[in-house]
Structure 1
Amino acid sequence: MTSALRQRRAQVATAVGLVVGGLAFYLTLFDFRLDPTRTAVSLGYASNFFDLQAQAFLDGRVDVPRGSLGIEGFVIDDRTYMYFPPFPALLRVPVLLLTKAFTGRLSLVSMGLAWVVLAVMTVLLLWLVHRCLRGTRPVTVLEAVAAAVFLAAATGGTVLTFDAALPWVYHEVYLWAVALVVGSLYWIVRTVLEPTRTHVLWLGGFALASALTRTTGGWAVCIVVLGIGAWLALGRYGPERRPAWRIVALAGAVPLAVAVAYNQLKFDHPYLFPLQDQVWTSVNEHRRDALAANGGTITGPQFFLTSLVNYFRPDGVRFVDYFPWVTLPGEPARAYGGAYLDQFYRTGSVTAFMPLLLLLTLASFPVLLRRTESIERRALRPAVLAGLLVTGGVMAYGYVAYRYTSEFVPVLVMAGAVGLWGLTGLLERLPRVVRATALTATAVLACFGIAANMLTGVATAATTHRGEDLREFVATQATVSGGPGSALSRRVTQSDDLPARGATDELHVLGDCDALYLNTGDAYEPWVVVEARPQVVEVRVGERLRHGRVLLFTVHGTVDRHVYLETQDDNYARVVITTKDGNYAGGWFAVYRDSTFRVGIGVATDLGFAEVTSTPGGFVGYVPYIEWDASWDARPGSISPSFYGTRTFEKLGVTMSRQQGLPLDLCHRLLADARS
């Protein structure tokens, strides 16, 4: 068999795998539409953090403007710092030097670029492992098919596809962290095999970028590289490689020193950040309780059992008979072994959402643990060890969320590649029907991982962004899996008041379709508004206006806000919002005898605010509608008309009547299906 055919098979397998994985990732990243500047939430919160850091660097500072990070900021000596390392911010510096037009809207592009790095390094790693285990023998059809399936799963069937659904700092940093660690693992293997200056420089570069992206990944890589340097110095990889130990050790020591120096500069600690100085700690009692219960930190071995159960439980997925059919477990994660968690969300498991890569990782153990003198096989062990060490941070962390399973992806890719070639070598000695069955099973598992992460990502993107995105998601549910007697219709409930809790995915109708809510299943924000009907007051002017003020609406929340109509004797009126922080008034507008005008208040569901307007007069202002209570649980407010039962408005020379806002067609449709 010619080398050209061998290369062609590998190329075709690589292309097919990356096309499938790339389609899954990018469709989720763009949320099935072309908007390269979209953010996780409408206001752009947490999508601008790295932009703020990049601008601070350009201004010659490490700290960012106070208050710009919200609850995520660390305030030390009256300066605000971001706890994320700076690599994604450094990537933005050239852009900010050219233009600031895209400030706060670069996360999606950055995440897309990170996937390219991940894809390239995964391909290189996969075929390098093949060379280590199978030598230079031609690639068989079985191996080519297996490689395509593996690449599709590794680039499109992991939690990173779920991460892609939310372009903000929390997920962007994981895309880069995983891509850079996988690249580091590739260069670890290359360096052990051939410790040339070029290979060591590439290894040091990836180690530095990893250390400046996420501490756990960077430290794991650097520690293993230092260990490789020591192993070389002892001659354990052969005397011919021993002279390279110094530069290999520097490739681990220099990135580690840079990361330590940067964290020391901000937080006066080699790797930790002072949680007691975070804004979130100052406002959240549960965080303070968690710190007190865990000795001033939320890391430690007491969380290992909790992480092990939640991140590897076989039932860490939920199947439903309505769109999106596959989703996260219906209940938030639980603590085990007496652990006191900081925060905990509905959390999918590695076992359930990345089954193929996990099985291949388990299959790698016999290959890795087998005694051998082959340098090619031995070169794989430190790379797998580095990937395994990356997971140490999340396994000892008192915060449980599905995105944290991203920490497992590097070891799943590295060890999974080892397991893949180990199994294909075994399968080639078995009957054809066994080979076909095994390949079919791997393809099914890969497809499931892709579909599960895509569908879960789509649902998460909608419930996080809110507004029209959430309404379209629920409308899709109604179209695809709704109708009288359907499973979705059985999730619809109705009452005059919103319950404190409810069932996950429950659609609750308030009143006669005054509002439609979706239950998230999470503890901190159980209800999100899908749509709410605007409230409108029509004001009719009599002979003339008189000077005065009348209360129109009260917006109930953690504190009440009020909307007033103010009038003057010269036939001018305006709308005023009063809050504990001050008053906000719209512009004065002229009114005429026997004329009418309207004042409305509607919920901007994507912003979490109620918008007050008048016609004429226009926009008046926003009033907080979704607020955090004393326990820092998000609660939707309520709006009540306040002029009923009073005659105050007659003193102004007007009459008032409540008008119906635009009906909620989706809500009425769902309610009709539920009643049928």
Structure 2
Amino acid sequence: MVASIAGLVLGGIPFFLVLLNFRTDALRTAVAQRFASNFFDLQATAFLHGRLAVPNGSLGIEGFIIDGKTYMYFPPFPALLRIPVQLLTHEFDGRLTLPSMVLAWVVLAVMTTRMVWLVRDCLRPGEAVSRTDGLVAAILLAAATGGTVLTFDAALPWVYHEVYLWASALAVGCAYWLLRVALDPSRTAILWLGGFTLATALTRTPGGWAMSGAAMALAGWMLLTALRRRRPNRGRLVLLRPLAVLSAGLVPLGASITYNWVKFGHPYLFPLESQVWTQVNAHRRQALAANGGTITGPQFFETSLVNYFRPDGIRFVDYFPWVTLPAEPARAYAGAFLDQSYRTGSVTAFMPLLLLLALAALPVLLDRRAKGPVAALRWPALGTILVGGGVMGYGYLANRYTSDFVPALVVVGTIGLWSTSRRRLPRAALLRPVLVVAMATLCAFSVVAQVATGSLIAAQTHRGDELTSYLSLQERLSGGPGSSFARLVSQSDELPGAGTADDLHVTGDCASLYVNTGDQYEPWNLVEQRDMVVDVTPVSVHYRPGTLRLLEQDGVEMRYVSLEFDKDTPQARLVVEDKDGNFYSPWFEVARGHSIRVTAHAVTEVFQTRIRVDDNPDYDLYVPVGEWNTDWYNDLTRLTFMTGHDGGRTDHVRVSNSWGREPALCQRLLQDAKSSATR
């Protein structure tokens, strides 16, 4: 008990620190607008109204349009969990992802703990738990609950990562009950196996199919064994339990197929040609054409194998956080045409302890002489290994997809731990402490690496104050004149087209500060931007009707920020001229000699620049910080004054342009970079 609690505390603390982003907001979301954190809430609401379709447009590019209705491709289990909350209130819609991820971690912790000790009983029956056993069990639990990519997933509370936490936790639960059924197929164990398998199948299709297949394979093995041992006068009784186990796998599989068929008319695939993303992204359409209308298949196996298991799938830097993802997106091999690829860490580099333990289990799992409880270990191992099979043939590479290997790493790694520890080692008194220290070191490394990458992705995805705070922390811990962090900073009048991950670039005199993400679709994030201020002072009682352009935005399309003066009364309003039409603020009064101050302020956490009149939010309009171009890459926009910096004058107004205060972080970084250059 003490070892289990210690291991869960050591793994849980870093997990929850990342999940909360080192803050206290238990309802935080990955991005401020809550995009992709509200999908399951939308689905739960649809269920309560008796339908599968969600409101059109609510899923953005992730929606599938079938016969004019929008469907979500995620299976429904996390949505079903939200229904009890929605029966009471909708106040928390869009903010339940983090609590759901907490619950998933609890399931993972409970089922992993039970698996650890059950496997030990299988491999070392009747042996008392020694102090060394307690230590290695605690280390394993810490690695499983805090040292896997699930901690990285916790950094972003949105559906893409929520499903992986649940899928991993439920798959480990399935594996535990598979082992329990293989050891003693009681009615209770079979019911639990069916429940976990159903939940897994309704969370993530590849994992559900894998665990359903393992359950049905176990049922087949039990049936053959029962037929060989069948005794006279026992009749059909010996067949009931294998058939019950078969149902525990077959019913969840049928539920998964039925749900997907009702939505998409296929047992497991999605009609990618019907996804909004496919309609707007030319590269997706090219990928579908190159791969026969799908982005799955054996042609992606080598690419997945190399990227997900390469020993150098990690990057060490000489500035905080010192451990990070590879600098470039994952590459294709053997002529594979990928849909998308992002910076992706490997299992080998980020989770070495669990991978080594899993490899250590192979002699036991492949031993044909194994019988009884030891042979029963093959079933949970088979199911969890199959969970990772789906992603090996998928033409989309991202770090979160290594989550599919976590169930096997945990379950097979547990088998490897106890199979190794039961062997008699030469000079055991000396060697065992060395192995315990090595395990603890590798576990600590994995925890630190996941916390480091998770914290970075949380800041870069959310932007705004979180990104500024993260870079400020980097500056405090590893910055200063002459530091390697200072050497990341460059300056020019324009943002360069290319860069390396973590590069910092300043345009103008701290007009803007950018950080390079290393990814190809959004290579630069805007960190800080100086306010742009235009003072317009009427100098005549004769107001000329029409618009006075103040700011110009150059991006995928041109926009103009203007003041429009009314022809009949002394009033004006703010206008954003856009190709899709003009957007207007309410009218406000103007008077001769009274300055109208228009301020452009970047609100990067909502990816917008706010245009405000006289510091009054009632007149706010917005223009985007970035726009998706025809290749669906995010091009950052550039806002400039329409008149000279010294101001200008028409026959009825005087215009004066100015810059706001230099952002503090940009100022410090630029000063350190200049000091480094003079050394």
TM-score by length of 1: 0.96
The answer as to whether partners of 1:493 and 1:508 remain within 8 angstroms in 2 is yes
CA distance in 2, matches of 1:645, 1:601: 15
**Change in 2 beyond 3 A, CA 1:645/1:206:** closer
**Structure 1 segment 8-407 matched on structure 2, within 5 A:** 11-235=1-225, 239=229, 243-407=240-404
**Change in 2 beyond 3 A, CA 1:408/1:258:** same
Partner of 1:542: 539
Matched, 1:603 2:602: yes
- The letter for the 2-side match of 1:636 is L
- The letter for the 2-side match of 1:36 is A
Partner of 1:559: 557
CA distance in 1, matches of 2:61, 2:2: 48
Partner of 1:410: 407
Partner of 1:8: none
Give SS of 2:225's match: coil
Matched, 1:510 2:507: yes
CA distance in 1, matches of 2:354, 2:65: 41
Matched residue count:
665
Partner of 1:629: 629
Partner of 2:466: 469
The answer as to whether partners of 1:516 and 1:531 remain within 8 angstroms in 2 is yes
CA distance in 2, matches of 1:418, 1:602: 57
The answer as to whether partners of 2:644 and 2:657 remain within 8 angstroms in 1 is no
- Seq. identity, %: 54
CA distance in 2, matches of 1:237, 1:597: 90
**Change in 2 beyond 3 A, CA 1:422/1:624:** same
CA distance in 1, matches of 2:145, 2:581: 52
**Change in 2 beyond 3 A, CA 1:12/1:534:** same
- The letter for the 1-side match of 2:672 is D
Shift of 1:647: 9.8
Shift of 1:589: 2.2
Shift of 1:373: 4.8
CA distance in 1, matches of 2:43, 2:25: 24
The answer as to whether partners of 2:647 and 2:655 remain within 8 angstroms in 1 is no
- The letter for the 2-side match of 1:172 is E
**Change in 2 beyond 3 A, CA 1:463/1:238:** farther
Partner of 2:664: 665
The answer as to whether partners of 2:348 and 2:355 remain within 8 angstroms in 1 is yes
CA distance in 2, matches of 1:314, 1:595: 67
- The letter for the 2-side match of 1:446 is C
Give SS of 1:234's match: helix
Shift of 1:318: 0.4
CA distance in 1, matches of 2:485, 2:581: 44
The answer as to whether partners of 1:233 and 1:243 remain within 8 angstroms in 2 is no
CA distance in 1, matches of 2:542, 2:400: 59
Partner of 2:639: 639
Shift of 1:602: 1.7
- Larger displacement relative to structure 2 (398-407 or 616-625): 616-625
**Change in 2 beyond 3 A, CA 1:409/1:587:** same
**Change in 2 beyond 3 A, CA 1:317/1:615:** same
**Structure 1 segment 526-541 matched on structure 2, within 5 A:** 526-541=523-538
CA distance in 2, matches of 1:497, 1:358: 46
Shift of 1:425: 1.6
The answer as to whether partners of 1:550 and 1:649 remain within 8 angstroms in 2 is no
Shift of 1:546: 1.0
CA distance in 1, matches of 2:126, 2:86: 47
The answer as to whether partners of 1:232 and 1:238 remain within 8 angstroms in 2 is no
CA distance in 1, matches of 2:93, 2:570: 45
Superposed CA deviations along residues 481-509 of structure 1, whole A, max 9, x for unmatched, are 10000001000001101111111110000
Shift of 1:242: 5.5
CA distance in 2, matches of 1:647, 1:455: 47
The answer as to whether partners of 1:545 and 1:567 remain within 8 angstroms in 2 is no
Superposed CA deviations along residues 219-261 of structure 1, whole A, max 9, x for unmatched, are 0011111111111111179848764111011111111111111
CA distance in 1, matches of 2:427, 2:145: 29
CA distance in 1, matches of 2:647, 2:411: 75
The answer as to whether partners of 2:645 and 2:658 remain within 8 angstroms in 1 is no
In structure 2, stretches of 5+ residues that fail to align are 231-237
